Structure 1
Amino acid sequence: MKKIYNILFSTRLTAILFVVFGAAMGIATFIENDYGTQASKALVYNSWWFQLTMLIFVGNFIGNIFRYRLLRKEKISVLMFHLAFIVIIVGAAITRYISYEAIMPIQEGETTNLMLSEKTTLNVHVDDGNEAREINKLYYFTPEIGSETRFIPMVSKFFNFLRGGNNFSLKADFRDKPVTVNYVSFLPNAFEKFEEDTSGEEFLHFVESGGGGRHDHYIKKGEVANIHNALVAFENQTEGAVNIFTENDTLRIKSPFEGNYMVMATQATGTIVKDSVQVFNLRALHNIGSLQFVVPEKGIKGKLVEVSSENKEEHPADKLTIEVVTKNDKKIVDLYGYKYAATPPEMFSMDGLNFRISYGAKQLQLPFSIKLNDFQLDRYPGSNSPKSYASEVTVMDNGENFDFRVFMNNILIHKGYKFFQSSYTITDEYEETHLSVNHDAVGTWVTYLGYSLLYTGLIMILFSKTSRFADLRRMLNKIKKKKEALTILILMFSGLTFAQGSHIQHGMSKVQVDSTLTAQKVSVEHAQRFGSLIIQDENGRMKPVNTFTSELLRKVSKKDTYNGMNANQVAVSMVTNPRIWMSVPFIYVKSANTKLRDILGVPEDQEYLRLSDMFTDRGEYKLSQEVEKAYKKKIKNKFEESVLNVDGRVTLLYQAIINGSIFKFFPLQNEENNKWFSYVEHKLAGFTGTDSLYVANIIPLYSGSLKLATSKKDYSKANEFLESIHKYQHKFGGAVMPSDRKVELEIFYNKYDIFKSLFMYYMYGALFLFIVVMVQIFNGSTLVNKLVKAGIFIIAGLFIYHTIGLGIRWYISGHAPWSNGYESMIYIAWATMLFGLLFGKKSALTVAATTFVTSMILMIAHWNWMDPSIGTLVPVLDSYWLMIHVAIIVASYGPFTIGMILGLISLVLFAITTKNNKRKIDLAIKEITVINEMSITIGLIMLTIGNFLGGMWANESWGRYWGWDPKETWALVSIMVYAFVLHMRIVPGLRSRFTFNMVAVFAYTTILMTYLGVNHLLSGLHSYATGDAAPIPNEIWGWLIVSAIISILAYIKYKKYYKKPSSRDLKK
């Protein structure tokens, strides 16, 4: 018994649980990516062994509370956060087994008390006409896992084996009549796909574009299909249907509606006469009634087979096939269903019994009703992107009625139920809100109690005089008194060095183009006036022309200027003389992409291409086929990624200089969504009277005035036109225009490009501090000491400049500057520098190393795959929670980055140890290791608090404080890994400083996965997740290889000079 006690409550088991729990969650995110959310729940999150792991965790925590006497007053902080995890797991169990979620769809004006469950159940109803019996069972199914030898499929198979697979068998006895329901198969996101087969039946391939997208239908010979509420019949003449049939070996059509068609090859047109038999034209675009369709070929032979779709939104229903067995009969039944949707049951009679069987969401009832009075949707000005949406509802509860407005982050709570604004559906016929319903009052409050204990305990660790963190501070002060440690700096760095429908015009040479642009270039002062005009981008953001053109230059050419012209001058040239930009070599294409150049027919050494290079003489886009292929593929190779990147640059430039539609200068008076338009759109936009004349002519008049201005250097008339446009914007678009102060500040921000220039400034500061610290080793004079302080002062000044830059971006954008990939990178750099300066009180080396890391982070932020442009927020991110949750989590990456760098430095020190310098290096390693542990402790506290605050945000926004989204899951994986790192000191065999620093280096891979990997390798809900798989960058592989080599070299020296012999070795 004592042996079992020692195992269950040992620190070794604690360490194993951290690793197993973290690894299981990490693997589950890849299972979800490959096989779907339901599979990840079935194989991991809801599996018996995963829940057993949590139960053992709780027991281990409780045992260690007594084993390490955490009930003492001086251990209260450690006790609190250990108790917190126990309480959180208990709260999660209540939520898992007692509570439930649902969706409540309500159309405007409708009153209902019905909702649809999140969990999918198998519902079996049996009766014999007199008596009935019903069975409801919750199941999680997984798709068929292939025989691949990759890691994830193999692990998935093993997990599936542990749970017994999808197999189930429901048995019941109905009046001595045995009934059994057996599992047969499961197909997620099922849809019918046509496969050609010469021995199959004949089908009509019917292609229509309802809902704005292409849809392929295959209508079997002799059948009638309902397509968007319109009947289409093939070889089965049916009244009220569009009939397509064969007569005298010719395909014909008879329609109940008038229509027309256009033969696409010849552009010939014709009409469809109602109720008249006519020859049917293949490969012609038909408009009949509500249908717009093409039939590309005659009837083809084949068959429809059901497969699993990658498009889960278009094909949400899963197919569950079961076998129903009675005493004398059996039947195979196909069921379709998915969460939040009630599907019609399959009804049949067999062996004297009546069956009604369904699979999918369960319909639940509220003890009160809700009426939707009004659904409100606000969009960003001039955009279809939703800014916010809300539901005005009335709660009806036995005469006690009250009104409430439900919107994102503003929830309705009544009788233990919480209602959240989830989504909506808007059609021409109705508006419908989707309220997310959560019934988890007890589980939520228990979990929140755990969160409170957790936050309090973690914060107390930082300030308690009896905590491990306080011990580390005292240890660091003792080490600092030993001045010998400083001499190691020269040893560290002695061996390290850091070390761009009309016919396309071809023919103008670059010299001619540049000469023309130079001759027409306006003055910097005038261009600055033009750059301060406001335009509305495609997402509805109002910004200066200067910002737009700066973004266009960076996206298209990867430069900030062109041929001596700044962004404002380029903007004037594009608006007033767009055609010449067809011949400007402006579109950047990577030099290694020779395949793309071959397709375009340009020289392999031509780095920048002209827009005219992208089109044939007939105006056909040369990349159209390659773009279409690339868009269809989920996992894209490097060539396909480059095709899409170049296509994006071409599209942006085309919109700017061919049709000018992207320069939206002009607000339309009384436009309900405050949409602005370009001058070429004035007819379609609906401008009338003098406004129409003004919008149509002001840009051409302005262009004409520039010819006089550039020749005579007199911009007075041109300035008058710009002032006129500025006044027009204020008169009709003032409600959405940014203030003049904000415009000036944004132009200032663009001009100085604060974060891009900071990269080099931080680098220079880091090198300067490294040099003076090394000089200080040999000469501790007052001057040198002052230079060290000056270096830190300079870096602190750069940090203040960094802070000001973040503040300016916050003010300009109107939201906290950590809402997308680029913003989070510059914020991580800021947080890293902040903690480096805080630890710099103890170690100038830490400041130098941190400054170097900060410069690297800012450099990465300005690589091509990061977009520095300021954008708008989706509604769920427009919340104060963004400032709290995201700020804390992303800031935690700073201490973890410092921990990784200090770990590498320690390993280098181990690797260069000799017999003569061991004493000095040992002191330096002790100092760095203590700082490293302090840094990781702070990072872990921040990441833990930030991640669980994210749970509170989710609960307050859509009613679920934990949903196993890959981003939050990998944050929890990181917490588990770094908790393991900090617990290593109490685990026998893992207590050495070498092991700690080495694991601290490689633990950083979980932070990289949390921050970057989830966005590029997995699909998730978070703001810059892409959902498309991407390769791991070579830089990360390089870092891992170098770290591994350094670790091996360090271990050799560690084993020789530092490792203490074990008791077994001593006996030998």
Structure 2
Amino acid sequence: MIKTLKIFFTQKVFSLLIIIYIILLVIATFIEKKFSTETAQALIYYSKWFEFFMLILIINFIGNLIKYKFFNKKKLPIFIFHISFIFIFLGGVISRYFGYNGTLSLREGEKSNNLISNKKYFNINLSDNNNCLKSNIYYILSNFNKNSKKRFFLKNFFYKNNLIFQIENYIKNVKEIFLVDKFGRKYINIITSFKGKPNNNFLKDGTIKNIGGLYFSFNKHVKGIINFWEKGNKIYIQAPIEIFNNKKKETGVLNHNLISQIILTSFYRIRNLNFFIEKSPLFGNIYYIPINNYYNYSNYPSSLRAKIFKNKKIKKFNFLIKKNFNLIKTNLNLGGKILSLRYGQKILNFPFYVKLKKFILEKYPGSSQPSSFKSQLQIIDKDKIINYNIYMNNILDYKGFRFFQSGYNSDEKGTILYVSHDFIGYFISYMGYIFLIIGMIFTFFCKETRFYKLKSKLNRDILI
């Protein structure tokens, strides 16, 4: 055992570990470029084995410091130089496990005290008429773990009734197709138009669907949304807002229950959404086929198939995750209790408000290309108001929150800020960088270092 430790705590082993570490970073960069950031995170960056490898590396590093007695007075500069890497590593660990970051979007005149996290979670809610319990599970969906059959055991989730959530399959970038089947479910096809291109939106009998930012239902009357239903081979519509078509104008106002018959192939417009229904309801099934998992088609959604186990009951379901991992909600009935499942970013709060007074974008003369942009902000913390400008290389640091200028809205009336909260992690990392600089400077001038001895030998050789 002692002999093994002596072999492990050597400079050769440390050099080998450093080479492996560099190779892993190169591989991770290649995976991120070839596949996706999520795949690189699942395979390397956020994997348990990579964390274990980093732990082995730092143990070897500390062991070498002790073995070669870098902590004595004569080797103090070298010790400071090497100990800086431990501080940098420790700061990174704290940042990873205790810090968080996200995005804050503000329009001019708007204030907010919440941001959207960069990490993505499964959010599971289970409720009845009297109680509601929530669980957030951090998980990375990627092509790598698409068939992992990952299980999450949620103990005492609802009145000591254990619940198991299991991922069955994940397909990145899918296209929805409808196949006619007389034994399938009933659907209507709401055809929308975007930039002159028709898009099929199949709405299943008894369900609700978000189409173009508006909620539609078919044979499921829900107050406050646009309802379709079938009666006598005819389709009717009822909406709480104005409906326009190419022949006449029809209005439906909430609580007035105005009902209109849909004219097939006739164009309708609700707000900015243009649509028509070409045929009577169809019987069939929806399937999702992959477009190409090796490229990032951001306009296509992803498909997730999962199971929920509650006692002896099993509920299977599929749902889509739209581009940018927007929160997609699915309601399931589990023995009289309603389960809601979402995947995506979650809302994080901070203990003060940030208000955007004005966003300023400057462009190169005679060009539409931006030369610089900045955000004029106000920090509103109870009775205290602080004015601050954020622009490139000028960040706002307040109560452990750091705000960076990240982007802006296309109409130049809003800003996008990157926010991080990790005061301790940043402080320890910066301490490490300070020690690194001090150690390098001392190494140049301390007589006990190898660098100083080589410099002295070189000077003697020159004089000879």
TM-score class, shorter-chain normalisation, is: 0.7 to 0.9
- The equivalent position to 1:432 in structure 2, one of 414, 418, 426, is 414
Distance between the aligned counterparts of 1:382 and 1:191, measured in 2?
43
How far off its partner does 1:56 sit?
A: 1.8
SS at match of 2:69: coil
The yes-or-no answer on 1:420 pairing with 2:404 is: yes
How far off its partner does 1:479 sit?
A: 8.1
Q: Which residue of 2 aligns with 1:13?
A: 13
The yes-or-no answer on 1:58 pairing with 2:58 is: yes
Confirm or deny: 8 A CA contact 2:108 2:413 kept in the other structure: yes
How far off its partner does 1:382 sit?
A: 3.0
Distance between the aligned counterparts of 2:50 and 2:298, measured in 1?
29
Q: How does 1:674-753 map to 2 (within 5 A)?
A: none
The yes-or-no answer on 1:451 pairing with 2:433 is: yes
CA offsets 1:434-466 (integer angstroms, 9 cap, x no match):
222111111001001111112232344445444
Q: Which residue of 2 aligns with 1:347?
A: 331
Q: How does 1:509-524 map to 2 (within 5 A)?
A: none
Confirm or deny: 8 A CA contact 1:92 1:447 kept in the other structure: yes
Q: How does 1:888-903 map to 2 (within 5 A)?
A: none
Confirm or deny: 8 A CA contact 1:102 1:340 kept in the other structure: no
Confirm or deny: 8 A CA contact 1:108 1:432 kept in the other structure: yes
Q: Which has the greater radius of gyration?
A: 1
> Where does structure 1 lack aligned partners over 5 or more consecutive residues?
147-159, 244-252, 258-276, 282-286, 294-300, 483-1068
> Where does structure 2 lack aligned partners over 5 or more consecutive residues?
217-225, 229-233, 251-262, 276-283
Confirm or deny: 8 A CA contact 1:230 1:291 kept in the other structure: no
How far off its partner does 1:14 sit?
A: 0.6
| Equivalent position amino acid for 1:392 in 2 | Q
Q: Which residue of 1 aligns with 2:97?
A: 97
SS at match of 2:417: strand
How far off its partner does 1:28 sit?
A: 0.9
Confirm or deny: 8 A CA contact 1:100 1:117 kept in the other structure: yes
| Pair 380,349 (structure 1): closer, same or farther in 2 beyond 3 Å | same
Q: Which residue of 2 aligns with 1:541?
A: none
| Equivalent position amino acid for 2:335 in 1 | D
Task: Indicate the structure with greater helix content.
Answer: 1
| Pair 34,242 (structure 1): closer, same or farther in 2 beyond 3 Å | farther
Distance between the aligned counterparts of 2:153 and 2:329, measured in 1?
18
Task: Indicate the structure with greater strand content.
Answer: 2
The yes-or-no answer on 1:177 pairing with 2:157 is: no
| Pair 179,118 (structure 1): closer, same or farther in 2 beyond 3 Å | same
| Equivalent position amino acid for 1:168 in 2 | R
| Equivalent position amino acid for 2:413 in 1 | E
Confirm or deny: 8 A CA contact 1:10 1:64 kept in the other structure: yes
Q: CA RMSD in A?
A: 4.5
Q: Which residue of 2 aligns with 1:111?
A: 111
Distance between the aligned counterparts of 1:472 and 1:452, measured in 2?
25
SS at match of 1:130: coil
Q: Which residue of 2 aligns with 1:732?
A: none
| Pair 216,112 (structure 1): closer, same or farther in 2 beyond 3 Å | same
| Pair 341,377 (structure 1): closer, same or farther in 2 beyond 3 Å | farther
Q: Which residue of 2 aligns with 1:48?
A: 48
> How many residues matched?
422
Distance between the aligned counterparts of 1:422 and 1:340, measured in 2?
17
Q: Which residue of 2 aligns with 1:208?
A: 194
| Equivalent position amino acid for 1:171 in 2 | L
| Equivalent position amino acid for 1:172 in 2 | K
CA offsets 1:476-532 (integer angstroms, 9 cap, x no match):
6788899xxxxxxxxxxxxxxxxxxxxxxxxxxxxxxxxxxxxxxxxxxxxxxxxxx
- The equivalent position to 1:386 in structure 2, one of 362, 367, 370, is 370
Q: Which residue of 2 aligns with 1:83?
A: 83
| Pair 49,415 (structure 1): closer, same or farther in 2 beyond 3 Å | same
Confirm or deny: 8 A CA contact 1:183 1:323 kept in the other structure: yes
Confirm or deny: 8 A CA contact 1:375 1:432 kept in the other structure: yes
How far off its partner does 1:12 sit?
A: 2.6
Q: How does 1:700-849 map to 2 (within 5 A)?
A: none
| Pair 222,464 (structure 1): closer, same or farther in 2 beyond 3 Å | closer
Greater RCO, 1 or 2 (C-alpha within 8 Å, sep 6+): 2
Identity of aligned residues (%): 27
Distance between the aligned counterparts of 2:392 and 2:57, measured in 1?
36
Distance between the aligned counterparts of 1:178 and 1:279, measured in 2?
50
CA offsets 1:671-699 (integer angstroms, 9 cap, x no match):
xxxxxxxxxxxxxxxxxxxxxxxxxxxxx
| Pair 306,364 (structure 1): closer, same or farther in 2 beyond 3 Å | farther
How far off its partner does 1:194 sit?
A: 4.9
| Pair 170,28 (structure 1): closer, same or farther in 2 beyond 3 Å | same
| Pair 2,402 (structure 1): closer, same or farther in 2 beyond 3 Å | same
How far off its partner does 1:66 sit?
A: 2.4
Q: How does 1:650-1049 map to 2 (within 5 A)?
A: none
How far off its partner does 1:312 sit?
A: 5.6
Distance between the aligned counterparts of 1:372 and 1:106, measured in 2?
6
| Pair 143,216 (structure 1): closer, same or farther in 2 beyond 3 Å | farther
- The equivalent position to 1:305 in structure 2, one of 271, 288, 312, is 288
How far off its partner does 1:469 sit?
A: 3.4
| Pair 6,331 (structure 1): closer, same or farther in 2 beyond 3 Å | same
The yes-or-no answer on 1:324 pairing with 2:308 is: yes
Distance between the aligned counterparts of 1:208 and 1:170, measured in 2?
43
Confirm or deny: 8 A CA contact 1:219 1:225 kept in the other structure: no
Distance between the aligned counterparts of 1:465 and 1:117, measured in 2?
51
Q: TM-score, normalised by structure 2?
A: 0.75
Confirm or deny: 8 A CA contact 2:298 2:324 kept in the other structure: no
| Pair 467,320 (structure 1): closer, same or farther in 2 beyond 3 Å | farther
| Equivalent position amino acid for 1:358 in 2 | R
Distance between the aligned counterparts of 2:372 and 2:243, measured in 1?
42
| Pair 67,228 (structure 1): closer, same or farther in 2 beyond 3 Å | closer
Confirm or deny: 8 A CA contact 2:149 2:166 kept in the other structure: no
| Pair 4,359 (structure 1): closer, same or farther in 2 beyond 3 Å | same
How far off its partner does 1:16 sit?
A: 1.9
| Pair 166,107 (structure 1): closer, same or farther in 2 beyond 3 Å | farther
The yes-or-no answer on 1:218 pairing with 2:200 is: yes
How far off its partner does 1:198 sit?
A: 11
Q: Which residue of 1 aligns with 2:129?
A: 129
Confirm or deny: 8 A CA contact 1:116 1:341 kept in the other structure: no
